Amino acid sequence: MVGLILGVLLLYGIQTYLPAMIMSRSLGGKVLRHGGGPRDEALPLTVNASRAKRAVANMNEAMMVFLPLALLAVHFGLNSGLAWWGALVFLLARAAYVPAYITAIGLTRSIVWTLGHVGLAMMAVAVIQNT
């Protein structure tokens, strides 16, 4: 379970840098000059950078549910079974969520988001069963 928690935290860390990386690819040196200055005014985000930023905001919300469930699972020694599989489903869904959001292909984002919440529900059921 600890490995999955670390995997989710790594994904979160990468995801927080993604909007800036997308902007750097689009605007090049302008982003670096802006970042090195006082940043009194924000650069207008590209469509993809804006989507990546919204995906980070969504991850912030999901982390508020995932981390307590994962820590409770560790506390109760649920390092296999439903809690572990739920955490894995959550991690994989959240990894797929970012490109699904940025590319905006049909209902893909909503389907992947739902799968992530199925993983959270699996974790919650496992924790509740062991309290």
The pLDDT of residue 45: 79
User: What's the confidence (pLDDT) of residue 125?
Assistant: 97
Quote the pLDDT of residue 34: 55
The span from the CA of 121 to the CA of 22, in Å, is 32
For 128, the token pair is 């509740």
Residue 55 exposed, middle or buried by CB count within 10 Å (0-12, 13-18, 19+): buried
Q: Look at residue 22 in the predicted model and tell me its pLDDT.
A: 85
Q: What is the pLDDT of residue 27?
A: 65
pLDDT at 12: 96
64 three-class SS: helix
pLDDT score for 103: 92
Question: In CATH terms, is domain 2-129 a member of 1.20.120.550?
Answer: yes
**Residue 79 has what pLDDT?**
86
Rounded CA-CA distance 16/18 in Å is: 6
pLDDT along the chain (131 residues), means of 10: 96 92 70 57 80 94 97 93 97 96 92 97 96 81
Which sequence spans correspond to the domains of the chain?
Answer: 2-129
Write down the pLDDT at residue 74: 96
Query: The whole model's pTM is what?
Result: 0.88
